[in-house]
Structure formats: C-alpha cells, structure tokens
Amino acid sequence: MAQPVKPARTSSATAQRHRVRQDLAAAAMHLFASQGYEATTVDEIAAAAGVARRTFFRHFRSKEEAIFPDHDDTLVRVGEVLESAEPHEHPLDTVCRGITEVLRMYAEAPEVSVERYRLTREIPILREREIASVARYERLFTRYLLGHFDESAHRDGDDDPLLAEVAASAVVAAHNHVLRRWLRAGGKGDVEAQLDHAFVVIKDTFGTGIGGGRALPAAPPATVSTTGEVVIAVARTNASPAEVMRTIEKALKGA
C-alpha cells in the first residue's frame, strides 16, 4: 500500500534549515583544516557561520557532528525508500536502492566529500563519528530485511535476525568500499555505476543465500561456476531440468 503523503514543512523553513546546516558545516571544515580540530571551538564555528552558539546546538549535538550535516536527512530519505518499495521488489534490492541514496549524498558534492574524507583520516574522533553514522543505516536495513523475509521459504526462522544483520552489513560494506575508493581517487568517476557493479559481484558471490527463497532478479535460469575444488550450480526451479542438468554435467566433467 502506498504511504499517505505527509504534510511537508514549509519549503522556506526547510531551505533555511538546510542553509544554516551547510554554512555551519563549511565553517567547521574550514576551521578544522586551517587551525586544527582541537583548537577549534563551537563558538568559533558559529561565529564563522554568522549564527549564535545556541543555533549551532539546535543543529548539532557536538563539534564533531558539524561536518556531517546531511546524515540525518539522508537517514529519513532512506527510510522513505524502504517504506515505499513495491511489494514485488526483492528486499535486498530495496536495501541496495536505500544505500544508493547515501552514496548520492557524497556524490552530490565531490570536493566537499573528498576534503571531509581527508579530515576524517587525520582526526580519529571524526572518523569514529562517521562510522557511527553509517551504523545507523545498517541498523535500519537489518530491521527492514528482518521484516521482509519471505515466509514462503517455510524454513526455521530462528536464524533470520542473524541473516538479516549479516546481509545488511554486506550491503553497507560494499557501499563503504566503493565510496572509499572513489574518495581516494579524488571523487572522480561514476561512483554510482561502481556501486551497481559491486552489488552484482556480491549477489554473484554471496547472494544465493539472501532473501529467503525468492530468486534474485538478476539470476539467469541456470549458472554453474567451478572454482578449484568446488562446483556451484544455481538454477531456477522453473528452468528446464534437462537444460540445467546438461550445464551442470558439463561443468563437472570439465573440472
């Protein structure tokens, strides 16, 4: 069922809030980089952004949060992506679309993201702040996956919370990997395409077990891969058995 449309904040209030947060973040980034993180006070950040100290604390709980102005809004947007997913979409695909929203947050301002990455590498407390922010997305995905295991699988569900958490962490790890590589390359290149590639690799490698019974959308009718001592065959049960068997037999003989 589609979600009812929520009454939006007045757009001017939203724009104002957004502008203040961006100004504070830009001021914090500049001060951290120019005079050092420890030497910078909240008062200085507020003054540089032209607002009062109490305004700073309406937007951020602490100094180390100030350079991450967008995670709160992005978390809300990711939640909306999950809530508005079509019922037929594979839950893992929905989660991949969710984390793509996070990636876009970084990709929208490559220069800012690259500079912030430089700061997070130098200042452990900023790095830890960012790790904690990303953990919030992971918890959201875990809850979503847990609520969307396919009941038609009829399996013992005792391990569902474990599998949901592991699958969510895999998606977030893929995002982190792709994002970090892009940031190290100076924010150049199509990072969203790189993330899509990572999702394909993960599904090919780990994906057969995720989702509790539904075929992954990208799965061909039958695939066989032989790596060293193991042959792995994945087939849709509605594929022709004869065709599947031929493929597997060939792989076994060739091994």
Question: Which residue ranges make up the site for a copy of itself (CB under 8 A)?
Answer: 124, 127-129, 131-132, 135, 150, 152-153, 155, 159, 161-163, 165-166, 168-170, 172-174, 176-178, 181, 198, 201-202, 204-206, 208-210, 212-215, 219, 226-238, 241, 244-245, 248-249, 252-253, 255
Dihedral of CA atoms 243, 245, 246, 247 in degrees, nearest 10, equals: 90
Instruction: State the first-to-last Cα distance of the chain, in angstroms, to the nearest integer.
Output: 49
Instruction: Using the minimum distance from each CB to a copy of itself, give the nearer residue, 47 or 216.
Output: 216
Residue 185: CB minimum distance to a copy of itself, A: 13
Rank residues 13 and 135 by Cβ distance to a copy of itself and give the closer one.
135
Q: How far is CA 83 from the centre of its chain?
A: 16
- Least distance in Å: CB of 92 to a copy of itself? 12
**Residues forming beta bridges with residue 226, ordered by sequence position:** 231
In angstroms, the CA 234 to CA 226 distance is 12
Closer CB to a copy of itself, residue 52 or residue 232?
232
Q: Which helix (H) or strand (E) holds 143?
A: helix 124-147
Whichever of 25 and 164 has its CB closer to a copy of itself, that residue is 164
For a copy of itself, give the closer residue by CB, 80 or 204: 204
Q: Provide the residue type at 255 as one letter.
A: A
Q: Whole-number minimum distance, CB 39 to a copy of itself, in Å? A: 17
Distance separating alpha carbons of residues 66 and 223, to the nearest angstrom? 49
